[in-house]
Structure 1
Amino acid sequence: MRITVLGGCGAWPAAGQACSGYLVEHDGFHVLVDPGYATLPRLLDLMPAERVDAVLVSHGHPDHCSDLNPLLRARALGDAPPAALPVHAPPGALDAVLALDNARMLAGSFTLHDLEPGTPREIGPFRLDAFALPHHVPNAGLRLTAGGRVVAYTGDTGPSADLVTLAAGADLLVAEATYPLRVPDEDAPYLSSALDAGRTAAAAGVARLLLTHLWPGTPPEPALAAAAESYDGDLDVATAGLVTEV
Structure 2
Amino acid sequence: MLLTILGGCGAWPAAGQACSGYLVEHDGFRLLVDLGSGTVPRLLERVGADQIDAVFISHGHPDHCADLNPLLRARTMRDDPSPPLPLYALPGALDAVLALDRPGVLADAYVLHEFTAGGGFDIGPFHARTRPLPHSVPNAGVRLTAGGRVLAYTGDSGPSPGRVDLARGADLLLAEATFVNEVPEASRRYLSSAREAGRQAREADVRHLLLTHLHPGTDTSAALAAAQAECDGEIGIATSGLVFDLSRA
- Does the TM-score normalized on the shorter chain lie above 0.5? yes
- Give the drift of 1:25: 0.2
Report if the CA contact (8 A) 1:179-1:215 is conserved: yes
Give the match's secondary structure for 2:104: helix
Q: 1:90 aligns to what?
A: 90
Q: Where do 1:1-246 residues align within 5 Å? A: 1-246=1-246
Q: Deviations over 1:81-105 (max 9, x none)?
A: 1211010111101111111001211
* RMSD of aligned residue pairs (Cα, Å): 0.7
Once residues 78 and 25 of structure 2 are traced to their aligned partners in structure 1, the CA distance between those partners, rounded to angstroms, is 23
Given that 2:141 and 2:166 are in contact with CA atoms closer than 8 Å, whether structure 1 keeps it comes out as: yes
Contact 1:115 1:130 in 2 (8 A): no
> Structure 1 residue 217: deviation in Å?
1.4
Paired residue secondary structure (1:18) = coil
Q: Which amino acid aligns with 2:25?
A: E
Q: CA deviation at 1:160?
A: 1.0
Write the distance in 2 (CA, Å) between the matches of 1:3 and 1:86. Answer: 19
Query: What is the TM-score normalised by the length of structure 2?
Result: 0.98
Classify the secondary structure of the residue corresponding to 2:47.
coil
1:117 to partner: Cα distance: 2.2
The answer on whether the counterparts of 2:49 and 2:71 sit within 8 Å (CA) in structure 1 is yes
Q: How far does residue 115 in structure 1 lie from its aligned partner after superposition?
A: 2.4
1:76-129 per-residue CA deviation (whole Å, 9 max, x = no partner) reads: 112211211010111101111111001211011101111222321011000001
The unaligned stretches of length 5 or more in structure 2 are none
Output the TM-score relative to the length of structure 1: 0.99
**CA offsets, 1:45-84, max 9 Å, x none?**
0010011000010000000000000000001112211211
CA distance in 2 between counterparts of 1:34 and 1:142 reads 11
Distance, in Å, in 1 between the alignment partners of 2:136 and 2:112 is 22
Q: Which amino acid aligns with 1:55?
A: V
Q: Distance in 2 between matches of 1:155 and 1:107?
A: 27
For the residues of structure 1 that align with 2:131 and 2:103, how far apart are their CA atoms? Answer: 30
- Aligned-partner residue type, residue 65 of structure 1: C
Contact 2:164 2:200 in 1 (8 A): yes
Q: What SS does structure 1 have at the residue aligned with 2:227?
A: helix
Q: Which moved more, 1:80-89 or 1:63-72?
A: 80-89
- Assess if the C-alpha contact under 8 Å between 2:119 and 2:131 holds in 1: no
Q: Which amino acid aligns with 1:97?
A: V
In structure 1, the gaps of 5 or more residues are none
